[in-house]
Amino acid sequence: MKLNGDSAKPLYEQLKNVLKEEIHRGIYKYGEKIPPEPVLCENYGVSRITARRAVSDLVKEDILDRQQGKGTFVKHHAVTRELLTVNGFSDNVKTEGKEPHSKVVSKEIITSTPYLEEGLEIPEGTKVLKLVRLLLIENGTVILDIAHYPLNRFPKLADYIGDSVSTYETLREVYHVQPSYNKRKLNIVLATKKESEFLNCELGEPLFEVKKLSYDSNKVPVHTSTLYAIGKNVTFTVNDPMEEK
């Protein structure tokens, strides 16, 4: 893959973004060694100075780890998530000083199941948007999110959702709905074939499974979601609410 020499964006910046994307896609896995500078130069058609600058920047951003005499490796990170927070993914990641990204895997309109009807408190046969996304953080961590939104309350929601679009921001701005609190269940499960493909992990690897039911201030259900994350990549914290005086 050759970079665009006519672009206003410097080549080292282009190469840095390409390497980040390849880490997201699992071409370079956590703990894995990336190619040495001469190979990067040949693969991307850049000079040694450009390759060195791109790699050095990723080391400074704590994405790569340069080990003297061994090479440069993709650094493992654990994302800390507050289990009781009501913020959406984008809001949570921004509070950590990181840039959130999401990739829509599928948007499908389905007929509600008894499980969804009970959780979302919707009539039998209600149309529901099933939204499957990969939640990406700039350090390479990936979370699989499978969410369901009732279309009798959020008509045409699928039209507003795309890559890196915040669903909670859309709910606030388009439908004037603000999720106010969540009920969550945290489980440890083993990765199925589908989850291992999305998360680029081994079949049977331990995953965090977080089942969430979100409510607005009137205690009306907003959506359900199930998140899957590789256990070693995420740390969940649980803090008691501050006692009122």
Element (H, E) at 142: strand 142-150
Domains of the chain: 11-74 (1.10.10.10), 79-237 (3.40.1410.10)
Say which residue, 187 or 142, is predicted with more confidence. 187
Q: What digits encode the pLDDT tens for the residues 50-104?
A: 999 999 999 988 888 888 888 999 876 545 454 444 445 444 555 555 566 889 9
Cβ(206)–Cβ(188) under 8 Å? yes
Distance CA 44, CA 47 (A): 9
Query: Which residue do the tokens 């992990």 mark?
Result: 201
Task: Output the pLDDT for position 237.
Answer: 60
Q: What digits encode the pLDDT tens for the residues 165-207?
A: 889 999 999 999 999 988 888 888 899 999 998 888 888 888 8
Checking if the pLDDT of 105 tops 90, the result is yes
Global confidence as pTM: 0.62
Say which residue, 136 or 53, is predicted with more confidence. 53
Distance CA 227, CA 134 (A): 10
Distance CA 117, CA 137 (A): 32
The amino acid that residue 83 corresponds to is: L
